[in-house]
Amino acid sequence: MHHTAVDFRMSNRRAVLHVRNLPVIDSFQFFGPNATPALVDFRAEWRASGPAVARGRGTAVPPTDPAAFLGEIAPAVSTIVCSGDEFGFEFSSRRGATTDLRGWAQIGSHRNGVFL
């Protein structure tokens, strides 16, 4: 995959991941098991829908504790648009598909001190 195929941008309130021409193998059952190369594109976006809240306990707990990080996490709404094509078949998602009240998404940042 070419280095320009993946674009990721993030701020405190929004993150966007855009992947272009990702090679995958589509496996399916049609006259027996089959597999064919395919390409997919997708653009996922997370947008904060509420205030960020401090999370984690940092060094107040042992390094193996799941709370051994400091961060800010906000509730978010996520959207995705995707498409793909292979020999003789292609698909595209409905534009603007999004999470709703039955689902959830989060956006935020954290650091665990391992690399700092």
Q: What is the pLDDT of residues 7-33, one digit of tens each?
A: 989 887 899 999 999 888 888 777 888
Does 36 fall in a domain? yes
Its pTM surpasses 0.95: no
73 closest CA partner among 99, 103, 104, 44: 104
The whole domain housing 53 covers: 3-110
Does 92 fall in a domain? yes
pLDDT-based confidence at residue 116 (cuts at 50, 70, 90): very low
Q: Is the pLDDT at 110 greater than 60, yes or no?
A: yes
- Tokens 């648009």 locate to 81
Does 17 fall in a domain? yes
What's the rounded Cα separation, in Å, for the pair 14 and 74?
10
Does 39 fall in a domain? yes
Does 52 fall in a domain? yes
Instruction: Tell me if residue 33 falls in helix, strand or coil.
Output: strand
**CA 94-47-16 angle, 5° bins:** 70
34-91 tens-digit pLDDT: 888 999 999 988 889 889 899 999 889 998 998 888 888 888 888 888 899 988 788 8
* Total of domains in the chain: 1
